[in-house]
Structure 1
Amino acid sequence: MEFDFGWILLGLPLAFMLGWLASRFDLRQLRAENRAVPKAYFKGLNYLLNEQQDQAIDAFIEAVQNDPDTSELHFALGNLFRRRGEYDRAVRVHEHLLSRGDLDGKDRDRAQYALALDFLKAGLLDRAEAALLRLEGTAFEAQARLALLAIHERSRDWCQAMGIAQKMQAAGQGDFSTRQAHFLCEQAQALIDQEQWTEATAVLQQAMQIAPDAPRPWMMLAQLQLRLEQPQLALSTLMDLGRDVPQALPLAAPLLAQAAKASGREQQTLELLQTYYQELPSLDLLDSMVDLEVATGQSLAQGAMRYAHHLEKEPSLVAAAKWLSHETLGHPQWQPWVQRALEHAAQPLRRYRCAACGFEARQHFWQCPGCQSWDSYPARRIEEL
């Protein structure tokens, strides 16, 4: 049987046509898929800008399903999960990214940092620390060290925090001398609680050398010296603080008055406080001055006059309450009631306010309980700011 080549000539155009139609179908499908991904992506972005996070997550999940190799969509989805508090889902997204073999080094470091943030926000500090340590030598090293520093501060691991702060200082990532001084003060406090006086003194002196302008080591050293019945040394330490860091003297004024009375140098210290008060009027300085005047035999009426003169300089409700505590106004039967009302009104004004987050407290904190910032509380109270 002879083969008819005519069928071949007839089939070639048909095969060509079928191939062309198949290619057009594939191209059309590819274009539709490519259009679907940006559409879902931009829809999610629109939801995100309108703070509709649930709808944004659904849109990003749709986009990731259409194009599972897009790392940017994974990062966006993981960040959304973290912001919503769904830390387990955020961890799964970022761990999936890290498991991919086609991820370049930059995106791998980014995913590692995002995973560490997931653990940190979830309160899994040990896992967050391990993830952050893997970022040494990467572009995220500075951010990782800051996060590690926060972890060690929260866990009160002051030795580890000291090491991180020293690394960052040496790398030129900022001035961490004041933080190092606080870390040493925390270590010194632990030694004081264990009655290791010599070791605590050495640590406090080291803190003073690292950050001479930080008032906390000076005050803690003076307190320790008073505890060891060394009032002369305590008074000398506080006078050095007043000379080198005068803006911190209102915090140290009560301690200064205590050291002066213990060492019998009330008059000399009173004159020093009067000099500082003329330069920077402060209620804490004034209270200590009145305390020392009473210790030197002066009358309470003299103290009342000091509060009255302070009212001429600053309209202070706290000073008015102090003045009334020494003044009968000629009607002693009414004085307790007026005094009680003024004391109640003055209570909020006696507080200290964090300059970083606004957290208010009755006592001065070196580290804010609200935002964990160091030295964010001014030395002066709310009414004096």
Structure 2
Amino acid sequence: MEFDLSWILLGHPLAFVLGWWASRFDLRQLRLENRQAPKAYFKGLNFLLNEQQDQAIDAFIEAVQNDPDTSELHFALGNLFRRRGEYNRAVRVHEHLLSRGDLSSADRDRAQHALALDFLKAGLLDRAEDALKPLEGTAYEHEARLARLAIYERTRDWPQAATIAAKIQAAGQGDFSQRQAHYLCEQAQAAVAQGDEVKAGRLLDEAHAVAPQAPRPLIERARQQQRQGHGSAAVDTLMRLAGQAPAALPLAASLLLEAAAASGRNDEARALLEGNYERAPSLDLLEALVALDRTSDDAQRPGRERYALHLAHEPSLVAATQWLAGERLAHEDFHPAIQRALDQAAKPLMRYRCAACGFEARQHFWQCPGCQSWDSYPARRVEEL
């Protein structure tokens, strides 16, 4: 049987037509899919701009279904879940990203960081710590170290916090010496609670060496000395405090009175308090001076008149209330009611206020209970700010 060349001539055009039709079909399908994915993406973006997070999530889920290989959509979806408090869904999105074998190194680090943030926001600190550790040596190293530092501070793991703070400082990303001193002071307080005064003293000396200008190690050291019956040594330590960090002396004014009374050094304490009061008048220094005057045998001491002298230079409801408490009024029957009203009004003015978040407290904190900031409480009362 002879081969008919006419079939070849007819087959070429037919093959061309079929190939052209198939390519057009594929192109139409591809264009349709490409149109669907951006449409869903821009729809989600529009919902985000209008602060409609629920609709934005639905749109991004649709976009992810149309194009499951797009990592950016996964990141956007995971961040939205986290912002809405749906931490389980955010974790699943970011864990899915990490399970992909085609993810670039940069995107893998980004997904690891996002996963750690999911755990942090959910309050799963142990899982957050585990997720942050692999970020050492990546572009997210600094953020990861700060996050781990916050975790160790919240869990009061002071040795671990000190290790991380030392790494951050060694990398030239901030001075953490004063915070390191706080960590040592916290460990010293724990040692005191366990009855180990020797260890506490060693930790306080180390804290002072780490941050010589920090007031807390000296105050804690003076408190320990007074507790151990070394009142004179406590006075010497507080005199060093006045020389190195005079702004913090009001925090230790009552301790100075106690140590001076125990060691018979009231005159030195008065001279120190008066010198600091003249440079920077303070309600705590004023109260300490009035208390010293009350214990003095010298009739020339001004005593409560210090309140009136203070009012001449520093308008103060607190000082006025204290002065009025010892005065006799023309209508003395009304005095108790007036005094109670003034005492009530003056109480909020005697609080300390965090400069970072505004949290107020009756006592001074080295770390704010509200925002966890260190050294955010000035050594002055609300009325003096």
The TM-score, its normalising length taken from structure 1, stands at 0.96
Aligned length in residues: 385
Q: Distance in 2 between matches of 1:38 and 1:216?
A: 58
Q: Which SS does the other structure have where 2:333 is aligned?
A: coil
Aligned to 1:315: 315
In the aligned structure 1, how far is the partner of 2:271 from the partner of 2:336? Answer: 32
Q: Residue 32 of structure 2 aligns with which residue?
A: 32
Cα distance between partner residues in 2 of 1:36 and 1:361: 57
Q: Deviations over 1:279-324 (max 9, x none)?
A: 1111011001101111113679933321112122222111111111
State whether structure 2 residue 139 is matched by structure 1 residue 139.
Answer: yes
Report the CA distance between 1:140 and its aligned residue.
1.0
What is the aligned partner in structure 2 of residue 345 from structure 1?
345
2:293–2:301 Cα contact (<8 Å) kept:
no
Equivalent residues in 2 for 1:104-183, closer than 5 Å: 104-183=104-183
**Whole-angstrom CA distance in 1 between matches of 2:357 and 2:47:** 30
Which secondary structure state, in structure 1, belongs to the residue aligned with residue 303 of structure 2? helix
Structure 1 distance, partners of 2:228, 2:10, is 112
Whether contact under 8 Å (1:47, 1:53) holds in the other structure is yes
In structure 2, how many angstroms separate the alpha carbons of the residues matched to 1:12 and 1:300?
124
Counterparts of residues 321-336 of structure 1 (less than 5 Å): 321-336=321-336
The secondary structure found in structure 2 opposite 1:333 is helix
Pairwise CA RMSD: 1.7
Tell me the amino acid that sits aligned with residue 244 of structure 2. Answer: D
Q: How does 1:1-385 map to 2 (within 5 A)?
A: 4-297=4-297, 302-385=302-385
Once the two structures are superposed, residues 167-195 of structure 1 have per-residue CA deviations (whole angstroms, 9 ceiling, x without a partner) of 11112121111111111011100111122
- Please give the alpha-carbon distance, in whole angstroms, between the structure 2 residues aligned to 1:56 and 1:28: 28
How far 1:231 sits from its partner (Å)?
A: 0.3
Shift of 1:2: 5.3
Distance 1:289 1:349 in 2: 20
Give me the whole-angstrom Cα distance separating, in 2, the residues matched to 1:351 and 1:339.
Answer: 19
Unaligned runs of 5+ in 2: none
Please state whether the residue corresponding to 1:134 is helix, strand or coil. Answer: helix
Q: Secondary structure at the match of 2:304?
A: helix
Q: Does structure 2 conserve the Cα–Cα contact (< 8 Å) formed by 1:267 and 1:296?
A: no
For the residues of structure 2 that align with 1:164 and 1:240, how far apart are their CA atoms?
A: 30
Deviations 1:121-152 (A, max 9, x none): 11211111111111111111111111111111
- Residue 205 of structure 2 contacts residue 217 of structure 2 at CA under 8 Å; is this kept in 1? yes
Structure 1 residue 267, shift from structure 2 partner: 1.8
Tell me the secondary structure at the aligned position of residue 383 of structure 1: helix
Cα distance in 2, alignment partners of residues 53 and 303 from structure 1: 65
CA distance in 1, matches of 2:30, 2:85: 36
| Alpha-carbon distance in structure 2 between the residues aligned to 1:319 and 1:115 | 54
Alpha-carbon distance between aligned partners in 1 of 2:41 and 2:328, rounded to the nearest angstrom: 75
Aligned partners of 1:49, 1:343: CA distance in 2, in Å?
Answer: 52
Q: For the structure 1 residues 268 and 332, does the alpha-carbon distance in structure 2 shift closer, same or farther, using more than 3 Å as the test? A: farther
Q: How many percent of aligned residue pairs carry the same amino acid?
A: 69
The answer to whether the Cα contact below 8 Å between 1:294 and 1:300 also exists between their aligned partners in 2 is: no
Q: What is the one-letter code of the residue matched to 1:126?
A: D
Relative to 1, partners in 2 of residues 1:102 and 1:299: Cα closer, same or farther, differing over 3 Å?
Answer: farther
Deviations 1:250-305 (A, max 9, x none): 11111111111111111221122111111111101100110111111367993332
Q: State the TM-score, normalized to the length of structure 2.
A: 0.96
Instruction: Classify 1:376/1:260 alpha carbon distance in 2 versus 1 (closer, same or farther; 3 Å).
Output: same
Further displaced range: 191-200 or 9-18: 9-18
